Every structure is written in C-alpha cells, then in structure tokens.
C-alpha cells in the first residue's frame, strides 16, 4: 500500500488491485503508521531536550540514522579544557 501511495496512486487504486483488503483495514494501517511517526517525533523531542542539539546529532549518527560532516568538522575544532568551556561552546553555537 505504501508503495502505491509513494508512487502517486491513491488508496482506492490500491483497494481495487487488492480486493481482499478492506477500506477499514487500510485506514487502520495508515493510522498505525501515523502514530508511529508521531511517537518517533516525540521521542526525538525528548532526546533533544535531554541531550541537546550536539548530543542528538551524535546519537543519531552513532545509530546510523544520519550521515553528516559533523564528526569531521569536530576533529578540527580546538578541544575544550574544562566542562564549563565545553558547555559554553555548545551554547554559543
């Protein structure tokens, strides 16, 4: 069904091609997918609040969910000497 929608077809086209799938079942699947996206978004908000922007990017990168140049950029930055300096650098960005 998602392939149909991604391909530009509407739900009715999918249902015509798969008559054993009821309209209600298809809507239920779409609702579950919507809830999954909402939960993922809420989870990312919590991670951002707990880890901050830098921590969230590092977490997502470590999980293989994002690929960026942040790690390469960070290698070339001066390393802070204290925790206060670390916090200051994060806040300034």
What's the pLDDT at 20?
96
Tell me the DSSP string of 3-67: HHHHTT--HHHHHHH-TTS-HHHHHHHHHHHHHHHHHHHHHHHHHHHHHHHHHHHHHHHHTTS--
Per-residue pLDDT reduced to its tens digit, 32-67: 999 998 888 888 888 888 888 778 878 887 877 766
Q: Which residue has the higher pLDDT, 49 or 9?
A: 9
Per-residue pLDDT reduced to its tens digit, 67-86: 666 666 666 766 666 667 76
Q: Which residue has the higher pLDDT, 60 or 12?
A: 12
How many CA within 13 A on the CB side of residue 39? 6
């Amino acid at each position: 069904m998602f392939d149909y929608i991604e391909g530009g077809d509407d739900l009715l086209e999918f249902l015509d091609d798969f008559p054993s799938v009821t309209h209600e079942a298809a809507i239920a699947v779409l609702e579950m997918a919507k809830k999954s996206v909402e939960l993922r978004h809420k989870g990312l908000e919590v991670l951002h609040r707990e880890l901050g922007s830098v921590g969230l990017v590092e977490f997502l990168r470590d999980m293989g969910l994002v690929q960026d140049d942040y790690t390469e950029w960070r290698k070339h930055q001066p390393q802070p000497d204290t925790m206060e300096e670390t916090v200051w650098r994060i806040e300034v960005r």
